[in-house]
Amino acid sequence: MKIISGEEMRELERMTEESLKIPASFLMERAGLAVVLALEQELGDLSGKSFLVLCGTGNNGGDGLVVARNLLDHTDMVSCVIVGEEERMTNLTRENLERLRLLGVDVKKFGVDIDLDGLAEMIKRSDVIVDALLGTGSRGEVRNPLSDIINLVNLYAGYVVSVDLPSGLECDTGRILGMAIKANLTVTFVLPKPCHVLFPGRELTGKLKVANIGIPRSLCESMNLKRSIITKSHVKRILPERKKDSHKKTFGTLLVIAGSRQYLGAPILTCLGALRIGCGYVRLLSCEEVGRLAVGREPGLVFTSIDGDSFSLKELDLALELAQESDAIVLGPGLTNREHVCEFVMNFLMQIDKPVLIDADGLNCISKNVDVLNSVRAPVIITPHPGEFARLVKQPTEQVKYNYLLAERFALDHNVIVVLKGATTIVTDGKNTYYNLVGNTSLAKAGSGDVLSGVIGGFLAQGVAPTEACVLGVYVHGLASEKYSMREGTMLVSELVDLIPYAVEEVAR
Ligand SMILES: NC(=O)C1=CN([C@@H]2O[C@H](COP(=O)(O)OP(=O)(O)OC[C@H]3O[C@@H](n4cnc5c(N)ncnc54)[C@H](OP(=O)(O)O)[C@@H]3O)[C@@H](O)[C@H]2O)[C@@H](O)CC1
Ligand SMILES: [K+]
């Protein structure tokens, strides 16, 4: 499913009006009605319930006024409070205010007819609060009195439905602009916005419903939106086929270059991830101790030993030779980022011509000189968590978290595919961007990223195109965590590996 930004939404509205002569007033009417229908779906009979509709002066507030009018079909217990000066109202909002007044609805002006204490009482007495204060037009930190009002709603409201987006969220980032509504339900229009899928916005959105408001699908499609949520039907289409007439090499050879005496477990998790998604031949190049453990856990692994405790230029020829025999490579988990390891990583990358996924210490090594990425002759995937990405782009972690614009820029500048990991994982090749919403907090555990590298690497080795291998990989990895039946967080990473088949099965079904 596509995602649309605030700017793109305005453009779509403009195109609808210009090319189809569908006016904004029509869209607003449909938007308001859609919210009431969504409330009916969620709460059942609305007749015994009381509603307080909080409206700003922009068109989000106009939607709220339409909600209020349509609620009157169900109940008389509808109150409305307008926040902001009437002179600043958009024309559509003013028209809808007039309609409500003609119907005899009690519309109060905040600061004139009611103060903060009075509003607190109204919020406490209402069953449902409709939040139509700020929508896609919100700019900068939320100003008072809106921030005080948002605070009251969060303190006292029973059930909150947000119109389009929870007021106080930045539409295109999901950041909280000082203070934001925590909604139980958000009804958005046409398509989800970035704030619904990126944290903290994703959490404040509550349940998300996407409503059609009369903008034809063909018009949306003509915009060629480049960002989307990964769905099951998308990944089902790219899951590689299992041809009956096959042998182990049919399903790809993956070379895993990982591990050191310090990190014995990471390479094993990567290899198991690859085997679990159906890779035919997984070869691990690592130190002796890692190999013994790895083959002990899974005798189907092919192991080649290096001489010492960690990689150095001595291993370069052997690694290049094995790379020649492979379809794809995973480089990084547990390598350490000591100088001689990084020397190996840099030289190896400059000489290979097979698709490569760089993770963990592989990324830490290249963060000293990211331009090496531009010299790799084959497709490159990088799978940083925000800390690793921060080191790559030399910015603070908080600024790079969920920063899809930065990930897109990096992907284009360095000709790589970025998998920026997080509670919402972002996959981008710079031209298209995908958000993975599947998975839970069980994945927030050391080793879970190593499994992901193996899963993506395994798909890559099977010939899945690099961006698609990432899309498929993050989805399957996330879904595997949802297959765990006990309390979130109690899952071991080795159990995650063993749940991958159930996730693949669900995707294939
Ligand atoms: N596009 C479409 O197709 C459709 C769009 N539709 C609806 O329109 C909505 C967008 O409406 P919009 O553009 O009028 O902006 P909106 O979100 O109401 O905010 C503007 C108001 O907020 C205020 N304000 C801003 N920042 C602030 C701050 N930090 N702190 C405090 N105040 C702040 C600003 O005040 P001002 O700066 O002008 O004083 C102004 O009053 C969209 O979300 C959807 O619900 C639907 O009808 C269906 C079709
Ligand atoms: K809102």
61 annotated ligand binder:
yes
Residues flanking ligand 1, CB < 6 Å: 9-10, 12-13, 27-28, 31, 56-61, 63, 84, 88, 90, 134-143, 146, 163-164, 177, 189, 213
Ligand 1 atom nearest to CA at 143: 30
* Residues 460-475, mean pLDDT to the nearest whole number: 98
136 annotated ligand binder:
yes
Q: Ligand 1 pocket test: which of 18, 60, 177 has the largest number of ligand atoms within 8 Å of its C-beta? A: 60
Tokens of 81: 């409070």
Compute the distance from residue 303 Cα to the ligand 1 centre, in Å: 60
Q: Above 90 in pLDDT, residue 248?
A: no
173 annotated ligand binder:
no
Of the candidates 308, 312, 316, the residue with the CA atom closest to the CA atom of residue 290: 308
Reduced DSSP (H G I as helix, E B as strand, rest coil) percent helix, strand, coil of the chain, to 5 = 45, 15, 40
Residue nearest ligand 1's atom 28 by CA: 142
Q: What is the dihedral of CA 447, 449, 451, 456, to 10 degrees?
A: -170
CB 395: neighbour CB atoms within 10 A?
A: 13
Q: Above 90 in pLDDT, residue 309?
A: yes
C-alpha 72, offset from chain centre = 37
Compute the distance from residue 346 Cα to the ligand 1 centre, in Å: 50
pLDDT the model gives residue 91: 98
pLDDT the model gives residue 387: 98
Q: Ligand 1 pocket test: which of 25, 82, 136 has the largest number of ligand atoms within 8 Å of its C-beta? A: 136
139 annotated ligand binder:
yes
Compute the distance from residue 137 Cα to the ligand 2 centre, in Å: 10
**Which ligand has the minimum distance to the alpha carbon of residue 60?**
1
Confidence band, pLDDT 50/70/90 cuts, at residue 476: very high
Confidence band, pLDDT 50/70/90 cuts, at residue 419: very high
Three-state secondary structure of 410-427: HHHHHCCEEEECCCCEEE
Domains defined for the chain, CATH in brackets: 6-225 (3.40.50.10260), 232-238+248-508 (3.40.1190.20)
Q: Above 90 in pLDDT, residue 280?
A: yes
% residues pLDDT > 70 (the chain): 100
* Residues 409-438, mean pLDDT to the nearest whole number: 98
Residues lying with their CB under 5 A of ligand 2, a single-atom ion: 131, 162-163, 167
Compute the distance from residue 132 Cα to the ligand 1 centre, in Å: 9
pLDDT the model gives residue 503: 98
* Residues 487-494, mean pLDDT to the nearest whole number: 97
∠ CA(421), CA(422), CA(428), 5° rounding? Answer: 45
Compute the distance from residue 48 Cα to the ligand 2 centre, in Å: 24
Q: Find out whether 182 and 161 touch, Cβ atoms under 8 Å.
A: no
Q: Which residue has the higher pLDDT, 117 or 243?
A: 117
212 phi, psi to nearest 5 deg: -80, 140
Cα separation values, 126 from 138, 156, 184, 400, Å: 26, 10, 15, 40
pLDDT the model gives residue 35: 98
Confidence band, pLDDT 50/70/90 cuts, at residue 36: very high
pLDDT digits (tens, 9 = 90+) for 124-150: 999 999 999 999 999 999 999 999 999
| Local structure of residue 110 (DSSP, 8 states) | B
Could you list the beta-strand ranges (E) of 59-206.
78-82, 107-109, 128-132, 159-163, 185-189
* Residues 4-16, mean pLDDT to the nearest whole number: 97
pLDDT the model gives residue 164: 98
454 annotated ligand binder:
no
Tokens of 193: 């916005």
Q: Above 90 in pLDDT, residue 401?
A: yes
Confidence band, pLDDT 50/70/90 cuts, at residue 249: confident
Q: Find out whether 130 and 67 touch, Cβ atoms under 8 Å.
A: yes
pLDDT digits (tens, 9 = 90+) for 95-122: 999 999 999 998 999 999 999 999 999 9
ipTM for the predicted complex comes to: 0.99
Q: Above 90 in pLDDT, residue 450?
A: yes
Plot region of 206 (φ>0 → left; ψ -120 to 50 → alpha; else → beta): left
pLDDT the model gives residue 380: 98
Q: Find out whether 439 and 397 touch, Cβ atoms under 8 Å.
A: no
